[in-house]
Structure 1
Amino acid sequence: MFYGTVVWDPWLIVAQIGCIQCLYYLTLGIFLEILVGSRVSRMSLVYFFDYATVTASTVTGWCVIASFLLSSLAGAGILLYLIERAKKCLDFSATLYIIHLFICIVYGGWPSSLTWWIVNVTGVAVMALLGEYLCIKRELREIPITRYRSSKFLYYSAMVSFYLVGVCILTLVGCFSAILMIFPWDL
């Protein structure tokens, strides 16, 4: 398990928030490249953080909206594997979108577009509810009872936890630099 059962660990929570934020922007970048990249001559961070690009009046705006909604669906899967607890899904989803709101305010000012607010509130709801559903479904699975507990099981579960922590650290360190290397965006 990636979460502590007894101990409250604020560093783990901060690491989880950072991992979720980076993976969300990575999936958003992939969806934007697939849907919007084919329609515009040059990708930039404006499609991530400027509220004016989230509009229902153009086909490119609809592609941006679809990218944000698909990223919220992917975010539910991210919650399933990184958070693993249904009761924490709303907290982490809301935190992700609040951080996104602050970045948008710094980048392009207060989002005054009603479409931007509808898309992001829908994204929070989809991510939280689908994440909770998936986590509850996983939590309610039957626990297989074996005749003996082998040390191999404990070894492999420790290795999986170590692997997940390593993946989170690598994601935090390299997410934005990887995006900028893969996609030729103007900053």
Structure 2
Amino acid sequence: MFYGAVVWDPYLIVAQIVCLQCLYYLTLGVFMGILVGTRVSRMSLVYFFDYATVTASTITGWCVIAAFVLSSFSGAVYMLYFIERSKKCLDFSATLYIIHLFVCIIYGGWPSSITWWVVNGSGVAVMVLLGERLCKKRELREIPIARYRSKEREKREARDEG
């Protein structure tokens, strides 16, 4: 979709970052609504940006962890469509999680929970590795040139005869 020329295009890069970040948070919101929203009386941004909610000591905390992990898988699929290059997956994944870290610092302070770091570090790894795998698979697909040539030849022959 956003795959463009080889030249450096800062507007394209910013658009890709914004698009990926928005889709990541939208997906995280859907998963939080499904997994956490059924367990708590009121959903809030605390579950998105406060490191204290990412805990393995409660069932709700495990639901928050699951939402973050599932969003990482979704983010890898988004990179397949918006980034399209396997060599850029690390850059865009790291950017997404660095922006998330800054938002978390602004919202709730420096994350001092080891669980938060493990979950987000795992999220980066999942998004990078799966995104690279998906993009590489698409990049290495065979280009069916022979099929197009035969159709063009058939059209020419039909045109020449008629």
- Compute the TM-score of the two structures, normalised by the length of structure 1: 0.78
CA RMSD of aligned residues (A): 1.1
Structure 2 runs not aligned, ≥5 long:
153-162
Say how many residue pairs are matched. Answer: 149
Deviation at 1:144, TM superposition (A): 1.2
Alignment of 1:142-153 (within 5 A): 142-145=142-145, 146-147=148-149, 148=152
* Paired letter, 2:144: P
1:48 aligns with 2:80: no
- Aligned mates of 2:22, 2:54 — CA distance in 1: 21
Deviation at 1:60, TM superposition (A): 0.0
Q: Deviations over 1:93-118 (max 9, x none)?
A: 00000000000000000000000000
Deviation at 1:8, TM superposition (A): 1.1
1:39 aligns with 2:39: yes
- Aligned mates of 1:121, 1:103 — CA distance in 2: 16
Equivalent pair of 2:2/2:16 in contact (CA under 8 Å): no
* Paired letter, 1:119: V
Query: Rg larger in 1 or in 2?
Result: 2
**Paired position in structure 1 for 2:99:** 99
The DSSP-based 3-state class of the residue aligned with 2:88 is helix
Percent identity among equivalent residues?
A: 80
* Paired letter, 2:53: T
Off by >4 Å, runs of 4+ in structure 1: none
- Compute the TM-score of the two structures, normalised by the length of structure 2: 0.90
**Paired position in structure 1 for 2:159:** none
**Paired position in structure 1 for 2:126:** 126
Alignment of 1:15-94 (within 5 A): 15-94=15-94
Equivalent pair of 2:49/2:107 in contact (CA under 8 Å): yes
- Aligned mates of 2:105, 2:124 — CA distance in 1: 18
- Aligned mates of 1:87, 1:144 — CA distance in 2: 24
The DSSP-based 3-state class of the residue aligned with 2:126 is helix
Equivalent pair of 2:76/2:131 in contact (CA under 8 Å): yes
- Aligned mates of 1:31, 1:79 — CA distance in 2: 18
- Aligned mates of 2:60, 2:100 — CA distance in 1: 21
Deviation at 1:4, TM superposition (A): 2.1
- Aligned mates of 1:6, 1:91 — CA distance in 2: 17
- Aligned mates of 1:103, 1:13 — CA distance in 2: 20
